Amino acid sequence: MTSGRPEDRDRRITSHLLADLSEEARAIWESTAPPDPSRRRRSLHDTVHARLSGVNRSLRTTKGGLPVHAGACLLPGGPGFLVAGRTGSGKSSLSALLATVWGATLVSDDTVWLGAAGAAGIGAPLALRPGSPLWERARALWHADDSARLLARTVDLEAPPVALAARVDRLLFPTYQPGTAQLACLPAAEAFGRLAGSVLRRCGERDMMDLAEVVGRCPAAAIAYPDAEASLRLISEWLEATPAAVPVEVQHLDTSMLRAAGLGLEVRGVRFDDDVVLWRPQLGRMLHLRGWLGGSLCHTPAWEELAASGFVGQQEERSDA
């Protein structure tokens, strides 16, 4: 696949890498002008990845579901994982490991659209960085030593073909780092904050409640892992320790309750059992209140933080002064 003229080789590689693209993604890809080969300074893989990123950005406002910076995959017989995190957190490597070692069907390693039925993708290839446990295997396929990222289809890495959608049963928030491997189960309120922070567009109130429903039914964990073996061992232990999900009660806090607490007009909130998460869309910030069951928050330990963060209504702030 790497023989012949460079232009022909690049076309063959690109065609192969894009073989799984969904129709909507392919239409956007074909409508964008390819870079001028004479001016290309990046490797083929970096160029294709950058162009696919543009496809993802275009679909954020048109594709159904909430775009989330996450990977998603489904183990044979379940469960389905949503692997969310910042760039460089290790979500691509972890998603790829679940596919290549455990035979999970991959939906995406970078962007998914989250909806009631689960997570949807666009059929894009894996994008691996140097240091990934699968980097050398991917590089051997393409001989692309000058890439900042290497792209590979899952079938090339001896994993099941990419799927365009899968259900979500578990939430994982990875950190790829040297040191001791650790996995910590997350309370629903913390998982909600992390997942909301991974959404790739501004969320409306309905979007936030949809996220809350996902969090309420899915066990969540944060995993810090230094290598492939440690990550899979921790996930296996987690699955054995929590074989069945225990749904968390999710309650949307109505405006009358929030006003009675002394909160500002733009504040919204959701309760997970006894934990409450508040947010104000204009601020783009969340606050977590533990054990608040209702009533005024004035003179509580949380009041000063609420006031400093702009969550307190003007009238209540004046009366408190």
253-285, pLDDT tens digit by residue?
988 888 888 888 888 899 998 889 998 877 677
Whether 212 is covered by a domain: the verdict is: yes
Q: Which of 73, 112, 79 is nearest to 238 (CA)?
A: 79
User: 0.85 exceeded by the pTM?
Assistant: yes
Contact between 219 and 182 under an 8 Å Cβ cutoff? The reply is no
Going by C-alpha positions, the residue among 67, 72, 83 that lies closest to residue 105 is 72
The CATH number assigned to the domain holding 181 equals: 3.40.50
Position 314 scores a pLDDT of: 52
* 88 and 141 inside one domain: yes
- On the question of a cis peptide bond just before residue 34, with omega within 30 degrees of 0, the verdict is no
184 and 254 co-located in one domain: no
Same domain as 80, residue 221: yes
- Domain of residue 159 covers 61-241
Residue partners of 17: CB distance under 8 A and separation at least 6: 48, 125, 151, 152, 153
Strands 170-176 and 80-84: parallel
Examine the domain organization and report whether 155 and 280 are in the same domain.
no
Tokens of 46: 């970096």
Instruction: Specify whether the CB–CB gap between 287 and 309 falls below 8 A.
Output: yes
Which regions in the chain score pLDDT beneath 70?
A: 1-4, 35-41, 143-145, 283, 313-321
Domain boundary among 190, 208, 241: 241
- Number of domain units in the chain: 2
11 occurs within a structural domain: no
Question: What pLDDT does 293 receive?
Answer: 74
Beta strands in 124-217 (DSSP E): 126-128, 150-152, 165-166, 170-176, 182-186
